[in-house]
Amino acid sequence: MKQITIDPITRLEGHGKIEIFLNDKGEVANTYFVIPELRGFEQFCVGRPAEEMPRITNRICGVCPEAHHMAATKALDALY
C-alpha cells in the first residue's frame, strides 16, 4: 500500500498533516487528517444550547473566525 503524506498543511491554526493511503490500483483506500494539539472545543460544546455555537465556535481560530462562525450558523439554520 502506497502512502502520501502532506506535512505541514497550511491554512490551519497550529500544526497538521494529511496522510493518504492508496491501494494497489492507485485508488484512495483511506485518509487521515492529523492534528496533534487537542484544544477541547468539542468537549466544551457538549450539552450547550445549539444557539450558542456561532458565538463559541468563532473563537476556535484567530486566523479565520468568520469561517467558523458561518459554518456554525449554517449548521444551526439547517437544524431548525
Q: What pLDDT was estimated at residue 12?
A: 72
Series of mean pLDDT values for 10-residue runs along the chain (80 residues): 92 85 97 85 89 90 87 94
The type of residue at 72 is A
Q: Does the pTM exceed 0.75? A: no
Between strands 2-6 and 17-22, the pairing is antiparallel
Residue/partner pairs of 62-66 with CB below 8 Å, 24 or more apart: 62/13, 63/11, 63/13, 64/11, 64/13
